[in-house]
Structures are given as structure tokens and as C-alpha cells.
Amino acid sequence: MPSLDVPPGGGGFSTVTFAELRLPDDVRDLLGERLASAHDPFGDIDRASARCHQAFAQLPVEVLQSLLDFGRHPDAPGVALVRNLPVDPLLPPTPRDGGPSLGKRTFVAEGVLLGLSGLLGEPVGFLSEREGRLVHDVVPVAYGAATQTSQGTKVFLSFHNDLVHDCQDCYSRHGPDFVVLNCLRADRESEACTYYADARDIVGLLDTATLDVLRSPAFRMNAPGGFVSSLVDRDEAYSDPVPVLRGPGEFPEVVTAANGVRPLTVAARAAFDTFQSACLVVAHEVRLAPGQALLINNRKGVHARSRYTAHYDGRDRWLQRTYVRRNLWDIRHRSVPGVRRIH
Ligand SMILES: [Fe+2]
């Protein structure tokens, strides 16, 4: 019988912010068989998503409900680790250029990613991120080694949300509600660690004065690197002043940018420093291995990544990632004519 094991929260609070789900071996094998017969999902993504949905819909109802509940309830955990997922029988070298891999002949990993994503919402691509691709390869890239991006390895990737530039907001409203990571290959030194800090745990550590500052529009967020690098006349694109925390006290939403947060006052700087320290204290840590996927709620919390060693020899760490929205209606102003799911 599958079980939803919930370890204590990172900060020891009563809020349950981390969930772990393990597929039984027979369920893994059956799911793998169904996904192995699937064809390249990149030709007709809606048909491929439907096929993946069909495969995942036959999971035991306890597993299925756990995954669906994770996506739909405000009081659900902010991050969930799914273990014992099927994997591709053969894996080509890790792409060195940021992907996609041209040598991948089977698509079990893509099926796992799209199947899990489809239980949370709709996978979506953004033109400013990986040219709108729906499946992102998260791999080390030599020229990005020292950057605050998913290509980096030499620096700690600070706690952040995955944001999308949009002239109408602070880069979070029209971005992904969820980020799903599926591990195809771990780093051989087992150094790479993903962190998740839930806003509910963070808030529990902070005093009222700090929270008041974080809830005030005293911060400007820089747009993601993928967008900024496309600009010809500047190397930054800061939002209007916005708060870091917003929403009901019981269900806070958090917004921080990987590419730079500019506090506008001395008090805002101090509050943001305190916020970042709190993230480290409460963070859950996961070292992803093949057959494991991490479901990240991109509004309830912030995530980060440790440094790790890259070799650029085809055997480096390899994750695949999707961005997921609960619906596409609210971002219809961004839709690309004739290309569904790309905005
Ligand atoms: Fe991220």
C-alpha cells in the first residue's frame, strides 16, 4: 500500500510542508511499460499529455489522490518528493550545451514529467525561457558555471521563485504555479542538493516588524536572466516596487527573483537579509537521484540549489523540468498565435 510519509518540517513547526510518496515496485513497472510504448511527445504535445494522463490515471487511487491533493489544496505541502518512478532503459550522454539531447530515443522520462505535471495543471512554455520549450533540460553548461541560473554549478543558487517577465506584474502572477523536476542522472559526487523553504515555515521564524516590511512594496525584482539577456540596451529589467510576502497569514505567497532583488530602504535590506537567513534554517533538502521527481509549488515557497562539480563529459547531472499552471486562461494575453501552450 502506498503511503504519504510526512517528515517533520525543517523548522519543527506544526505546518506540514514536505511530503514524500513512493510508488510500489509493481506500480512502477506497469507505469514504465505504458510510458515505454509512447512515442516522441514533442510532435503533438496535447495528444502526448493525454496519453500520459491515461497512464497515470491508472495509478492506485491513494497515489493518485495524493498527487492531485498536492496540486489543489492551499493547505497542502509546498514540495513533494516522488520516488521509485520508471526510468529510460538507456540514457544518452548528458547534453553539454543546455539541451535538448539529440540522442534520446526513448521517452519514459518525458512521460513521467508530463504525467506528473498533468496531475497538477497544464505544462506551459514561455518564449523568454528556453525558446518556449515545454520540457527543459537542467544541466551544467560551462559558460554559465558562475551564473545565478540553472546552468550554474560553482555558486549557490539563491532562494528564489521561477519567474517570467511580464509588463503587467511583478513577474510572478503569470509565471508557473508549479515547477516539476525529474532526475535522469545524478551528479557522480552526490553534491547537488535542492532546497525548498516554505513561506509558512519562514513566517513562523520572523518577528512582526520584519514581516510588516516584507509585506510592504519595498522591493524590486529583476527579470529572469533569459529575458534580460535578450535586451539590447540594458542588462537589467527591474519590476515596480512589490512585497516579498503577500496573501492571508495562514496561506502566504512569496516572491523573490534569482536574478536580483533590490530592497528600496535600509529596513527593507535588513528584512530581506533576515528572510534569506530564515530560508536556510527552514529549508528541506533533497538530493535527487534517477527515478525521483520533485514537485515544487512555486507560490508557497522558494527553492535553491547547492554548488556541485561539473565535468562537461556527458556524465553530468541531468534533470528535466516543466513549468505548470493550473490554467492557461489568465495568461491568454501572452499566447502565441497558432501555438498552443506557448506564451
Ligand atoms: Fe529555479
CA of 224 relative to ligand 1 center, distance in Å:
10
Euclidean distance between CA atoms 138 and 236, whole angstroms = 23
Listed residue (318, 216, 222) closest to 269, CA to CA = 216
Listed residue (184, 205, 172) closest to 276, CA to CA = 205
- Is beta strand 79-83 parallel, antiparallel or unpaired with respect to 18-22? parallel
CA of 193 relative to ligand 1 center, distance in Å:
13
Q: Is 129 in contact with 117 (CB distance < 8 Å)? A: no
CA of 1 relative to ligand 1 center, distance in Å:
33
Percentages (nearest 5) of helix, strand, coil residues in the chain: 30, 20, 50
Euclidean distance between CA atoms 272 and 337, whole angstroms = 40
Ramachandran region, residue 79 (left: φ > 0; alpha: ψ -120 to 50; beta: rest): beta
CA of 298 relative to ligand 1 center, distance in Å:
9
Q: What pLDDT sits at residue 4? A: 37
Q: What pLDDT sits at residue 5? A: 40
Non-local (6+) Cβ contacts of 9 within 8 A are 15, 16, 17, 18, 198, 201, 282, 284
Give the DSSP letter of residue 219: E
pLDDT tens across the length of the chain (343 residues): 333 343 433 333 345 889 999 999 999 999 999 998 767 777 788 899 999 999 999 999 999 999 999 999 999 999 999 999 999 999 999 999 998 898 899 999 999 999 999 999 999 998 888 888 899 999 999 999 988 888 999 999 999 999 998 877 778 888 999 999 999 999 999 999 999 999 999 999 999 999 999 999 999 999 988 788 777 678 889 999 999 999 999 999 999 999 999 999 999 999 999 999 999 999 999 999 999 999 999 999 999 999 999 999 999 999 999 999 999 998 888 888 878 877 8
Q: Is 261 in contact with 148 (CB distance < 8 Å)? A: no
CA of 65 relative to ligand 1 center, distance in Å:
26
Non-local (6+) Cβ contacts of 162 within 8 A are 175, 176, 179, 224, 258, 298, 323
Give the DSSP letter of residue 336: B
CA of 160 relative to ligand 1 center, distance in Å:
6
CA of 180 relative to ligand 1 center, distance in Å:
10
Q: Is 205 in contact with 145 (CB distance < 8 Å)? A: no
Q: What pLDDT sits at residue 15? A: 54
Q: What pLDDT sits at residue 2? A: 35
Q: In b/e form, how buried is each residue of 14-43, taking b as 16+ CB within 10 angstroms?
A: ebbbbbbbbbeeebbebbbebbeebeebee
Listed residue (118, 5, 97) closest to 51, CA to CA = 118
Q: What is the sign of the dihedral through the CA atoms of 87, 93, 97 and 99?
A: negative
pTM: 0.93
Q: What pLDDT sits at residue 1? A: 34
Listed residue (267, 222, 266, 227) closest to 242, CA to CA = 222
CA of 138 relative to ligand 1 center, distance in Å:
10
In the numeric block, the cell 540522442 is attached to: 103
CA of 257 relative to ligand 1 center, distance in Å:
9
Euclidean distance between CA atoms 106 and 125, whole angstroms = 22
**Domains, in order of start, for the chain:** 4-334 (3.60.130.10)
CA of 163 relative to ligand 1 center, distance in Å:
8
